[in-house]
Structure formats: structure tokens, C-alpha cells
Amino acid sequence: MSRNLKRVVLFVIAVAGAGLTGCDATGDQCDSTTACSQSVQTCCSASACHYAVAGRTFNCAGTNCDAAARQAVSFACSRSSASEEQVSLVRQAQARAAEAAARTRP
């Protein structure tokens, strides 16, 4: 492997591990975390956000995601109890996605 290719691979690994937001197919800004060992993805446009857990979507009321965050965590933790800490982690991921969406507005 060439030196430059090694640098690119290390850079990609570092960025992926840093928890930076990315875009989905629609151009929304997305972030993810886990709740009860389930991946919880949150995506935001400039005006609305949603959560996705195991193929199920939980829509926010615009960018107010309190109820949707609790629903997503409850779904992810259906075999165990959802804690306020898990809800907080999911909300933090949504806040990062919403902030990234706000920065990309024209």
C-alpha cells in the first residue's frame, strides 16, 4: 500500500471515529448513536428532523424532537428499560445533525 493511500485510509478511519455528521441520500445532515445496543440515526433538514431505528422512522415536530427521541429510545430498548441517559444521548446526536443542517442552509 502506498504512503498516500495509507494516509487516506487513516484519515477516513479518524473522521468516522470522530462522530462527525454526514449526509443521507436526500441531503439531510445525519448523526448516529446507540441506545440499548441498537443504532439510532437522526437526520435533519433546515426545517425538520427524524430518527431511524431498525428500519422504523420517528418524526419530530419540525425540529422539536423531545417526543420522537423518547419513542425512538423506547423502541430501541423494547427488551430493556430506556433510561434518561439514553434519551439524552439520542437528543445530543439530533442536536449535532440539526446544527450541521443549519450551517448548510443557503
Reduced to 3 states, what is the DSSP secondary structure of residue 77? coil
pLDDT at 82: 66
Mean per-residue pLDDT over the chain, rounded? 76
Indicate the pTM of the whole model.
0.63
> What grid cell was written down for 6?
495509507
Whether the per-residue pLDDT at 24 is higher than 70: the answer is: no
Residue 48's alpha-carbon distances to 26, 90, 95, 102, in angstroms, are: 13, 16, 12, 11
Q: What is the pLDDT of residue 51?
A: 93
CA distance 43 to 66: 14
Q: What percentage of residues in the chain have a pLDDT greater than 90?
A: 30
Residue 70 DSSP symbol? H
pLDDT band at 106 (very low <50, low <70, confident <90, very high): low
